[in-house]
Structure 1
Amino acid sequence: MTRTVGFLIFDGFRILDAAGPIAAFEIAGAHARGAYRLSVLARRAGAVASSSGATMTAIAFAGAPRFDTLVVAGGLGTYEALKDEGILACLREAARDCRRVASVCSGAFLIAEAGLLDGKRATTHWSRSRQFAERYPNVRLEPDRIFVRDGKIWSSAGITAGVDLALALIAEDLGEPVARRVAQQLVVYRRRPGGQSQFSALLEMERPDGRFGPLLGWARERLGESLTVERLAERAAMSPRNFARRFAEETGVTPARAVERLRVEAARERVEGGRAPIEAIAAETGFGDPERMRRAFLRAYGQPPQALRRAARLSA
């Protein structure tokens, strides 16, 4: 059985949003001959310029054959594409006819604008989560997920998460062994541990010209140890009082809250990616007490560790 997969692009799309999933499906087709037929789609046929200036050649989606799966790219041009009723109409039609519709990065804005995510769960790039939530209040955004499936609609986080998404789609079609072989050839995780927060938290707390980036990295490698303000201040060669004031001014959070965020993200990675007891994870990541870790999870994610573990297993 040959499944047709279309990749919808537009002026200013990010090239890896399309090229990453295309490569994954291409390799899967090499392992399972005839499994996929791939096409790049756009509003008009011809070369479509990405945000980098590199182009992809597309066929016009009007009159294109019916697709089993449609993957929607994101990128800097997303906001202009949101104004294109032709693209939105294509997505609505695809939702009626395709078995699956998926988005990469800010492509989630396009499928949400088309009304495909109303009342559904979804994710997008962590840096655009707040904007997405404000614009689409009827969508149940899960900002820390690498990808989310809700019925026939799939969405994924930023850029390389499109490969994670493609691997999950391939596993659904061809089985886990083929997906694992594709991941091996791409030299990526089959199931990436943790969520987006492992990539975003330090970036959110660091300034490009800030002095505390190395300290945060140092602390992250020692989460199981005592990380008091005094110890952090000593590492930063500052008095505790001056350190606490300067740290809060630069990062926007207190040292204690920064350490908690690093710990809760490390704990979530272990909770979702393994089977270790919650008590052991609390000890490893410096919480010590499982109840203390539970309260931190509720503050950060609105859910306790056990709920996130169950959700991760259901989506695996």
Structure 2
Amino acid sequence: MTRRVAFVIFPQFQLLDAAGPISAFDIAGRIARGGYELEVLAAQAGAVASSAGVSLAAERLGDGPYDTIVVAGGAGTRDLPALAEVVTWLKAAAPRARRVASVCSGAYILAEAGLLDGRRATTHWSRSDDFARRYPRVRLEPDRIFTRDGEVWASAGITAGIDLSLALIEDDLGGEVAKQTAQQLVVHQRRPGGQSQFSALLDMGGPNGRFADLMEWIRERLAEPLHVERLADRAAMSPRHFARAFAAETGVTPAKAVERLRLEAARVRVEAGHEPIDRVALAAGFGDPERMRRAFLRAFGQPPQALRRAARA
């Protein structure tokens, strides 16, 4: 069975948003011997310039039907009125496709077409606040690598499009083909959709921020009580002043920062081996497995056991 896949681009699209998924599906199609037929589509046929100045040749938006439609993102999504023809086409084409997906800010185009109303979705972290204001009916999950809600998929910025593509390929052709595709792409491991877009430390001020030394001190003592008074004492500040200064610098409260560092450390241990979950919870400072499970669900959308199974697979 050959599946027809359409990749939709537009002027000022992000090159890797299209090229990454195209390469993944091309490789998978060769591994599966004719698994996919690929088409690049745009409002006007011909060369379409990406934001990098490099162009891709595209055919005019066609009648299909298509098995899968993948919509790229990029700087061009900042001028949505200019993409009205693409949005109109998508409204008509999407109901006849088996599934629809977006890469990066391509989620704006899906949202404009009404395809994300009431659904979970994600987009590039830098556009999340704007996206949430524009499309309040979308259940935005800004810290996800990719999301799936029914047969509508969305992914975060740029390289996450490859993670999304590998998940789509696995859904079609099985884990072995997806694994071989990842090997050909020299991708070490497909990241699960629930994985955070960020490193906890980088997300909270980086290695050279005002509280960088404190962050490292916390990381070395995750199993210990880390209440705000103890952290303030370490920073040589009053608890009230410390809490205000820390939030201003990092964008999160001290308690949330500790939880993020614990989550990051716990996830590494959960995915890395066979250590009992309750032992991981103690080592990371959660105290008990149920508390850690709730934190994992909030942060990653999956419990620790599901992440461990995905990593083993």
The question of a shared fold, defined as TM-score above 0.5 by the shorter chain, is answered with yes
1:172 deviates by 1.8
Is residue 2:236 matched to residue 1:239?
yes
Please show how residues 110-125 of structure 1 align to structure 2 within 5 Å. 110-125=109-124
Please show how residues 1-316 of structure 1 align to structure 2 within 5 Å. 1-61=1-61, 63=62, 65-81=64-80, 83-192=82-191, 195-197=194-196, 199=198, 201-206=200-205, 210-213=209-212, 216=215, 219-220=218-219, 223-224=222-223, 239-241=236-238, 246-267=245-266, 278-290=277-289, 292-293=291-292, 296=295, 301=299, 306=303
For residues 1-24 of structure 1, what are the alpha-carbon distances to aligned partners after superposition, in whole Å with 9 as ceiling and x for unaligned? 221111101111111111111110
Distance 1:47-1:209 versus aligned 2 partners, 3 A rule: farther
1:197 aligned counterpart, secondary structure: coil
Contact 2:46–2:59 under 8 Å retained in 1: yes
Separation in structure 1 between the aligned mates of residue 5 and residue 308 of structure 2, nearest angstrom: 26
Contact 1:167–1:190 under 8 Å retained in 2: no
TM-score (norm 2): 0.82
For residues 142-194 of structure 1, what are the alpha-carbon distances to aligned partners after superposition, in whole Å with 9 as ceiling and x for unaligned? 33332222222111122111111111111122121111100111122443157
Contact 2:145–2:196 under 8 Å retained in 1: no
Contact 2:144–2:300 under 8 Å retained in 1: no
Identity %, equivalent residues? 63
Contact 1:157–1:196 under 8 Å retained in 2: no
Unaligned runs of 5+ in 2: none
Separation in structure 2 between the aligned mates of residue 88 and residue 223 of structure 1, nearest angstrom: 48
- What amino acid sits opposite 1:239 in the alignment? A
1:126 deviates by 2.6
Give the aligned length. Answer: 309
Instruction: Quote the RMSD (CA, aligned, Å).
Output: 3.6
For residues 199-245 of structure 1, what are the alpha-carbon distances to aligned partners after superposition, in whole Å with 9 as ceiling and x for unaligned? 1543432169734457646755764466677987899xx63558766
Contact 2:196–2:300 under 8 Å retained in 1: no
1:5 aligned counterpart, secondary structure: strand
Larger mean CA deviation between 222-231 and 124-133 belongs to 222-231
For residues 91-119 of structure 1, what are the alpha-carbon distances to aligned partners after superposition, in whole Å with 9 as ceiling and x for unaligned? 11221221111111111111011011112
TM-score (norm 1): 0.81
Larger mean CA deviation between 37-46 and 226-235 belongs to 226-235
Contact 1:91–1:114 under 8 Å retained in 2: yes
Larger mean CA deviation between 16-25 and 263-272 belongs to 263-272
1:51 deviates by 1.5
